[in-house]
Structure 1
Amino acid sequence: MWKEEIASVREYDFDYTLLRWSLDPLTRLNREERWVDVPVKLNDEHHIVRVKALGTTSHPCFEVSSSSNENRDILLQHIFELFQWGRDLEEVYQHFQKTNLAKLFHNHYGTPIVKDFHLYDCLMKVIIHQQLNMKFAYTLSTRFVQKFGSEINGVWFYPSPEKAASLDYDQLRELQFSQRKAEYVIDTSKLIAEGEVDLNHLAEQPDEEVIKQLVKIRGIGPWTAENWLMFGVGRENLFPKADIGIQNAMKQYFRLDKKPNYEEMVKLSGEWDPFRSYASLTLWRSIEGA
């Protein structure tokens, strides 16, 4: 067993990340004690890393621990990148103080973009969740993982692409997946398992190229590609204009009579570049009451 203390750069609202993750029944965490158990897959090995907040939003500090001694350095690097502790959120805050979102960022200071645990897991989750209300979306992804994934000490791991690729559509239909969604999950997993889609390679490409390649896959549209880039890869300049939550948040924040259309969203977001992902996340947060 090893433990390591890590200080983040300036302000970092870890408690909001725990709140957001608490919506997912698959995530093992404790908001009162301020820790989360992160499932980490290294090749064929499964590891669990606990991340616990020791500091505050203003003075962030974290304790990272795991029983996987031989992989300590790799696991630490994975966690550091996952939580993006090197990102100076003060720079983001100062940028938005010059925009029409100044008040929003003042009210929700230090909101980080924390990546989902693995690229494949994130893609499966956004495919499953697309066009569903949040409660049923998490019901489906939970059923998928608990049926075909694995559990170690209370921590759930998504199935591998190979495992998902081997499933029949009817196996997902039994979990209340629609026929099309079952096809999207399994067929996309087959492309990944067979090497036709390399998520690690995609994650190194520019946003526009990633979206161009992903939307070629049946069942993946711009919303799914943008959300994968934001939460899977951690990209900072995504603004999913088709997202109803963002539309509702903009309607509320800008006191509009109705949800903004595409042109209005483009106009209102003109000053947000190159940190539009932070704007998206903070807008979502504003209507979650967090």
Structure 2
Amino acid sequence: MGLSAEQLKAGLDALALTEPAIADAIARIGYPAPRLRERGYATLLRTILGQQVSVQSANAVWRKLDGMLGDASDPVRVAAASDETLRAAGLSRQKAGYAKSLADEVTSGRLPLDALAEDDEEAIAQLVRVKGIGRWSAEVYLLFAEGRPDIWPAGDLAVQIEIGRIFGHDTRPSEKLVRSLAEAWRPHRGALAIFTWHHYGAGPDTAPV
């Protein structure tokens, strides 16, 4: 599971002691709610299903797939399913390939989701070897499902936008700049990432004046 409300508050409070802009942002909109996902295969498969479609569409495909297979969270059943079955559940040809690839990596033991590397970069490398799992998806999985406290998805557009807003940048900072700035925020970058999404959802009126 991801970072708890207590962990988020502790991490953000630690950052607020050295970053007045973060302290001000917390005062404006409060602390974020936890973003919790189950650890394991089902969460990664649902991440693939959710790529480039609405949440409602992804949920509908998941329900149909679950009904057709009996248990879509079982990688053995997905690995054994035909491409036609996966397509009939609503997966595109590409996503059907990704789903089979993920199931194969898990059932073969090449991707040990119960024992990913403790080093964050090594764990990301393990995940992105799976077709359909890019760096962002790997980072979100490690943050939401494993609760790793120092994950920093610097390539996320909302993270870039909100770091710019919180710290008063005239334009959206680049991924490279956001990654560089965040070195000072270790080991609490995961809590700050979740806070940036919270800040993004609060709307433009939350920017400092």
Category of TM-score, reference length = shorter chain: 0.7 to 0.9
Q: 1:192 aligns with which of 103, 106, 123?
A: 106
Aligned residues: 201
Structure 2 counterpart of 1:167, which letter? A
Which protein, 1 or 2, shows the higher relative CO under an 8 Å CA cutoff with sep ≥ 6? 2
The TM-score, its normalising length taken from structure 1, stands at 0.59
Q: Map Cα deviations across residues 118-151 of structure 1 (whole Å, 9 max, x no partner).
A: 321221122222344545444444443454355x
The structure-2 alpha-carbon separation of the partners of 1:225 and 1:121, relative to structure 1 and needing over 3 Å to count, comes to same
Q: Map Cα deviations across residues 242-282 of structure 1 (whole Å, 9 max, x no partner).
A: 22232333344445454321222124434321111111111
1:285 aligns with 2:206: no
In the alignment, the residues of structure 2 paired with residue 257 and residue 86 of structure 1 have an alpha-carbon distance, to the nearest angstrom, of 32
Q: 2:22 aligns with which of 101, 108, 111?
A: 101
Which of the pair is proportionally richer in strand?
Answer: 1
Q: Output aligned runs, 1:236-255, within 5 Å.
A: 236-255=149-168
In the alignment, the residues of structure 2 paired with residue 214 and residue 122 of structure 1 have an alpha-carbon distance, to the nearest angstrom, of 13
Structure 2 residue runs of 5 or longer lacking an equivalent are 204-209
Identity of aligned residues (%): 24
The structure-2 alpha-carbon separation of the partners of 1:107 and 1:143, relative to structure 1 and needing over 3 Å to count, comes to farther
Q: 2:128 aligns with which of 215, 225, 237?
A: 215
Which of the pair is proportionally richer in helix?
Answer: 2
Structure 1 residue runs of 5 or longer lacking an equivalent are 1-81, 151-157
Question: Retained in 2: the 8 A contact 1:108–1:282?
Answer: no
In the alignment, the residues of structure 1 paired with residue 88 and residue 202 of structure 2 have an alpha-carbon distance, to the nearest angstrom, of 35
The TM-score, its normalising length taken from structure 2, stands at 0.79
In the alignment, the residues of structure 2 paired with residue 219 and residue 139 of structure 1 have an alpha-carbon distance, to the nearest angstrom, of 20
Other-structure match for 1:16: none
Other-structure match for 2:78: 164
Q: Output aligned runs, 1:13-32, within 5 Å.
A: none
Question: Retained in 1: the 8 A contact 2:127–2:133?
Answer: yes
In the alignment, the residues of structure 1 paired with residue 118 and residue 113 of structure 2 have an alpha-carbon distance, to the nearest angstrom, of 10
Other-structure match for 1:271: 184
In the alignment, the residues of structure 1 paired with residue 46 and residue 174 of structure 2 have an alpha-carbon distance, to the nearest angstrom, of 27
Question: Retained in 1: the 8 A contact 2:3–2:143?
Answer: no
